[in-house]
């Protein structure tokens, strides 16, 4: 049963048990939101509840976002707990990478289920209860803007997310509901740990990024919170790359440009 709306705004975040989603939860809690946090693992969700208990009420749902009934149940949890839903952050994602010729149907369907169908269903359920002033933020990737070697189905779903977001923006903007994408570059989380552990990857990322540090989960969380806040209130249907300039330049460090090519 929907309860009387609480005073604080409410955000529903998928994939809030780790990495970028965990940071988004912390940023929204600091920004005065109550939270509905969805992910499969209950233990990290319980830790999130405890660590934010002084500043936010956090309701959790340990569930697979790809299950067809999870989005409806999660929005129901928000309405029963808080009586309102002001922001949806579709963040849960699978980081499975392979070129097309190595991607079988099982892998293709898994990534589509988690990173495209689930955000679609969550958005559909959220839009049914959201009031003017609410917004949806989808966590895409720079690999939805440009091709990534071995990107395969990952690039396809992240590009699809941009199309879905633009459709929401045009359809529901007149109702005062906005939708945007954040497109992070490679951020250090469990998903990308193997990349970051490789010296060659670190060097290449540095040489391709016209900025003097790596992106952090807080960089992403701050941008998501900004887009959801009143300060982002005229931003609708956009994709905001959070990559230090990586996707919009052909930057190579002077060291890289001047390096001798090692003969094969
Ligand atoms: N890290 C990067 O460099 C980077 C760059 C661009 C975009 N992104 C995007 O950012 C988002 C978050 O990635 P991350 O780097 O923070 O990864 P992460 O540290 O591996 O966290 C992924 C989160 O998604 C949840 N999740 C995964 N599959 C799920 C499922 N089927 N049902 C429910 N929850 C699920 C995980 O929770 P459980 O395991 O508890 O279910 C976890 O909370 C993803 O959409 C990713 O594509 C990441």
Domains within the chain, CATH numbers bracketed: 10-188+215-245 (3.40.50.720)
Q: Distance, CA 92 to ligand 1 centroid (Å)?
A: 4
Q: Distance, CA 89 to ligand 1 centroid (Å)?
A: 12
Q: Which residue has its alpha carbon closest to ligand 1 atom 44?
A: 93
Q: Distance, CA 21 to ligand 1 centroid (Å)?
A: 7
Interaxial angle between packed helices 105-112 and 152-172, expressed in degrees from 0 to 180 and rounded to the nearest 10? 30
CA–CA distance, 120 with 164 (Å, rounded to integer): 7
- The tens-digit pLDDT sequence of the chain (264 residues) is 788 999 999 999 999 999 999 999 999 999 999 999 999 999 999 999 999 999 999 999 999 999 999 999 999 999 999 999 999 999 999 889 999 999 999 999 999 999 999 999 999 999 999 999 999 999 999 999 999 999 999 999 999 999 999 999 999 999 999 999 999 999 999 999 999 999 999 999 999 999 999 999 999 999 999 999 999 999 999 999 999 999 999 999 999 999 998 887
Q: Compute the C-alpha angle 135/60/49, nearest 5°.
A: 100
Q: Which ligand 1 atom minimizes the distance to the CA of 215?
A: 3
Q: Which ligand 1 atom minimizes the distance to the CA of 191?
A: 20
DSSP β-ladder status, 58-62 and 87-90? unpaired
Q: Which ligand 1 atom minimizes the distance to the CA of 93?
A: 45
Clarify whether 234 is annotated catalytic: no
Rounded to whole angstroms, what are the CA distances from 106 to 15, 92, 120, 158, 189? 21, 19, 20, 18, 25
Closest CA to 80 of 179, 177, 10: 10
């Amino acid at each position: 049963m929907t309860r009387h709306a609480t005073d604080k705004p409410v955000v529903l975040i998928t994939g809030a048990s780790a990495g970028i989603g965990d940071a988004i939860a912390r940023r929204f809690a600091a920004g005065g939101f109550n939270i509905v946090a969805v992910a499969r693992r209950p233990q990290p969700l319980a830790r999130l509840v405890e660590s934010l208990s002084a500043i936010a009420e956090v309701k959790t749902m340990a569930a697979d976002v790809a299950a067809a009934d999870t989005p409806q149940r999660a929005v129901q949890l928000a309405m029963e707990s808080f009586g309102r839903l002001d922001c949806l952050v579709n963040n849960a994602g699978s980081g499975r990478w392979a070129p097309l010729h190595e991607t079988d149907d099982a892998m293709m369907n898994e990534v589509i289920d988690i990173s495209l169908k689930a955000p679609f269903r969550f958005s559909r359920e959220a839009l049914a209860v959201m009031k003017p002033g609410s917004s949806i933020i989808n966590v895409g990737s720079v690999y939805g803007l440009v091709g990534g070697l071995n990107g395969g189905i990952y690039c396809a779903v992240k590009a699809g997310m941009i199309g879905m977001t633009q459709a929401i923006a045009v359809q529901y903007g007149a109702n005062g509901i906005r939708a945007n994408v954040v497109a992070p570059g490679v951020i250090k989380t469990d998903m990308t740990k193997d990349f970051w552990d490789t010296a060659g990857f670190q060097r290449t990322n540095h040489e391709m990024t016209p900025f003097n540090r790596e992106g952090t989960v807080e960089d992403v969380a701050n941008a998501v919170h900004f887009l959801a806040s009143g300060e982002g209130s005229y931003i609708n249907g956009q994709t905001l790359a959070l990559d230090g300039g990586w996707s919009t330049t052909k930057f190579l460090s002077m060291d890289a440009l001047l390096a001798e090519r090692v003969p094969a």
